Amino acid sequence: MLVLDHLSAVLPTKTGVVLLPQAVMMRRAGSLPLCRRPLRSVVYILSCAGAFILGSLMTLMSVDPMRCDIHQCTEKIKRIDVEDTNSWLGMWGHNNKGPEKNVFLVIVFLSAPVNLEQRNVIRQTWLSEEKSDTLHFFVVGVGSLSEDLNTTIQSEQKRFGDMLLLNNIIDSYQALTKKLLASLVYVHYNVKFRFLLKCDDDTYVQISQLHRELKGVPYKQRLYWGFFDGRATPRKTGPWKEADWVLCDSYLPYALGGGYILSSDVVTFIATNSKYLKLYNNEDVSLGTWLAALDLHRVHDTRFDTEYKSRGCNNDYLVTHKQSTLHMREKFNSLKATSLLCREQFQVRKSYKYNWNVPPSQCCVRNDSSIP
């Protein structure tokens, strides 16, 4: 099990994971010379015998990577993972149409149990224009939920079937990073997809426009697309504090959490390395940190209005954060009536272009009001 454990962690791609049994075989072949030497200890005999039995079993179970289809393979890998992931990742019993799904875009919303109204308004407004090759989940921690709220959530799930209910996570601000990681692991093992959009339940997305752009995006892989920041000094108190942050005196560049896009290979990297990842308090800071070492296309796009406070309304905004249900309906109605997002465009705060040639502390100067 240790061998499997180790290999599943170091093979970062979906193909890598599927090739796992082959990698095990190679390891087994490598240990053969030990069998030929004078048997020094019982341990050698046991490990050789164990490797032989494991190999035979795998042949019997026909997990030949060339033959099993992706769903059979991920089924098996999934079981391995369940054994050695932290208990809070134990949501595999979730009843959805997952494994058969093959979609272009997955949308993951981090949502709080009580935010039924926000979820419904999103369902009635921009999600109502979701394409058939798109799948969405509202991710909610349902550990230790009150009986009333649990009943409400269960009937919501029965009605819409679009929630990822995490039994082992007690929902709170502090659980956002766990919820994000659990979602990425879940989506990796249960859905075949090209891109993932992470949103909050107060995010408005011009979904048709975004969908069109994604179809033509020049980076099909290694994509990390959103509105980047990195200059903030880590806080020591308050809801966004990062008491454990020691990597640098600012954060590392990360796309702000109101909405960002990852290509599926990036999600694979995170899902298959999940147990090694340090969970910081903020999910977006965590994601930027997990991906900091990778050679990615970090695309800073000012049409992602995804900061802690909206910069205003601009018809070009693909994603806009911190929207009340009223604002969502307004934007939806405006788009219906005029094909424009905003009844009136305005800017309450300047935006910036990210400067990738300087350290994060100097990345982001708000000195140009012509930037949306």
Q: Which residues bind ligand NAG (CB under 6 A)?
A: 145, 147, 150, 154, 365, 367-368
Residues 6+ apart with CB under 8 A from 255: 224, 225, 226, 227, 228, 284, 287, 288, 298, 304, 306
Q: Which residue has the tokens 């019982």?
A: 42
Q: Which is nearer to ligand NAG, 70 or 365 (CB)?
A: 365
Q: Which is nearer to ligand NAG, 257 or 372 (CB)?
A: 372
Rg of the Cα trace of the chain?
Answer: 23
CB of 91 to ligand NAG, least distance (A): 13
Q: Which is nearer to ligand NAG, 41 or 357 (CB)?
A: 357
Supply φ then ψ for residue 182, to 5 degrees. -60, -40
Per the CB < 8 A criterion, the answer to whether 136 and 162 are in contact is: yes
**CA angle (129 as vertex; 124, 130 as ends), nearest 5:** 105
C-alpha–C-alpha distance, residues 296 and 221, integer Å? 8
CB of 203 to ligand NAG, least distance (A): 27
How many Å separate Cα 203 from the centre of its chain? 16
CB of 113 to ligand NAG, least distance (A): 10
Q: Which residue has the tokens 């060339």?
A: 66
Nearest of 256, 136, 257, 255 to residue 207 by alpha carbon: 136
CB of 162 to ligand NAG, least distance (A): 17
Q: Which is nearer to ligand NAG, 171 or 265 (CB)?
A: 171
The burial of 336, by beta-carbon neighbours within 10 Å (0-12 exposed, 13-18 middle, 19 or more buried), is given as: exposed
CB of 180 to ligand NAG, least distance (A): 22
CB of 167 to ligand NAG, least distance (A): 7
CB of 274 to ligand NAG, least distance (A): 24
Q: Which is nearer to ligand NAG, 142 or 199 (CB)?
A: 142
Give the pairing of strands 223-226 and 304-305: unpaired
Q: Which is nearer to ligand NAG, 154 or 302 (CB)?
A: 154
CB of 93 to ligand NAG, least distance (A): 10
Q: Around 91, how many Cα atoms within 13 Å sit in the side-chain half-sphere?
A: 30
Nearest of 176, 165, 177 to residue 141 by alpha carbon: 165
CB of 365 to ligand NAG, least distance (A): 4
Supply φ then ψ for residue 223, to 5 degrees. -100, 130
Q: Which is nearer to ligand NAG, 322 or 350 (CB)?
A: 350
114-117, long-range: CB < 8 A, 24+ apart? 114/149, 115/201, 116/152, 116/156, 117/325
C-alpha–C-alpha distance, residues 307 and 223, integer Å? 20
Q: Which is nearer to ligand NAG, 44 or 92 (CB)?
A: 92
DSSP H helices, 97-146, are 116-124
Q: Which is nearer to ligand NAG, 87 or 367 (CB)?
A: 367
